[in-house]
Structure 1
Amino acid sequence: MKVFLPPTSYEYVTVHKVQDHDVATASDVLAVEEPLEIRIGFGPTGQREYRTLSITMRTPGHDFELAAGFLLTEGIIRTRQELHGVIYCPDVEKEEERENVVRAELAPTAMPDLPRLERHFYTSSSCGVCGKTSIDAVHASSCPMLPTNGPYVHPDVIHQLPAKQRAAQALFEQTGGLHAAALFSPEGDLLLLREDVGRHNALDKVIGAALLQEWLPLHEHVLLVSGRVSFELVQKAAVAGIAVLAAVGAPSSLAVSAARDFGMTVCGFVRQNRYNVYCHEWRLRLPTTDSPTTH
């Protein structure tokens, strides 16, 4: 899978490499981190309103997908038809900032929930909202029901995902400093991958790309993320209709609680030919297991 690296997504720097008592000057590559301001335009033709929705720190590249995915996973839009398009905002004063501000134009008939524009987003593990309230809010606002008849994934397929994801991470290979989110078929074929300094941004880029290509809902796909699994990632995956979420790292307690309620299969610590299944293991059709042991 060939991956295009935008030149704005990385930069070269001079470093001093220290090994034991030896010091040498060398060139290194860093992943770029810059703010992206997401604005929206909404309302009937001739009566459009414009507002800033969010500012997120991201790696430049696939910015329109990031904005589209963010709008969907935060419940601002529900379908591709509600989004007319995304552009770099033309009325930014400083030229150097123009590619750091995007504007999503909603369809004239799409009216966003204005109170949600006041930044009622669950973007932090310290947001102060209790777990049950968070899950109920996502259910009520934007989360569709996940399928109860699949997809079914062979347990061995999960083992293969990290190596396939890593092989396609061109920017990580150069910088070592990025998260990735990747969509696979139930048979383990890599379909789509995006990288970013932020875990949630990488997933929003994947979901945004799928939204713009009209793939949603992603019921017949498996998602792999490169880090741990937070409640936010489970919520975003559920909104996109993803029923199987695997991760190289561990899930949080709230992530597992949400996944149980949403009907999502969650696998963690997928590495070194092992993994844990935290809920809805029936999609993997695992062999009969012994009773759990305590340590």
Structure 2
Amino acid sequence: MSYVTPKEFAVKMVDAGESKIFMSTKDTLIRAYMAGAILALAAAFAVTIAVNTGNFLVASLLFPVGFCLLYLMGFDLLTGVFTLAPLAVIAKRPGCTWGGVLRNWGLVFTGNFAGAMTTAVLMAVVFTTGFSTEPNAVGEKIGHIGEARTLGYAAAGGAGLLTVFVRAILCNWMVSTGVVAAMMSTSTSGKIMAMWMPILVFFYLGFEHSIVNMFLFPSGIMLGGQFTWADYFIYNEIPVVLGNLVGGLTFVGAMIYATHFRESPKRNANRNDDIAGVPAE
């Protein structure tokens, strides 16, 4: 059967974290760059669907195509390595250190940002006919998304920052579940089906994903959105990165590690006494 049990894929998670810590700088940057570029293109695809159809559910149903492609091709998102890399240190794999984890996170962030920015520039050319006209309907929509999710949070003050942080936690709870879901099957179709579900949930609920935002917000600035780079980093990217870290590591990585990789001994109960309704000694 193609199904992989939780106990088995928990080991795969730790193995994956170890592999990412020891990956070369070149490979880490290339894989992160391509992940950021592909996910950004999927975001542009989803916004285009939402604008052209007026139906955000359809856009959400189709957005996971980008996530599935990049993971099947072995590329890395920051949200995924937030969850996986620390597990190798926690499991005391030889040579795995927190310094190695931070190095991996820094390289993946850099690669994701560069890839998303590349797609942002290319799509801005498309939306403005080579910057010769005003942005089309999709370009205008992207600009307004950036305004609402920076200045909107800023207007709410501390409550706004709390909201964006919590939305980021919830986002990577789902996205990292998608990362792990790819390990639940040995078949391509099984991997795609398992990844599709949590990514659909995160996107439709409007949660905050740091790499998707690396495309949406720089694009919004290029396309005339009325917010600044400082607005983007202070009221979105920084709290979103922190929230994604908390959500993926706690709700996914730590929980699966604690109960499937480090499963506690079974209770030593007397089956006959339990059946009879008498508590075991």
TM-score band, normalised by the shorter chain? under 0.3
TM-score by length of 1: 0.23
TM-score by length of 2: 0.24
Q: Which has the higher contact order (CA 8 A, sep 6+)?
A: 2
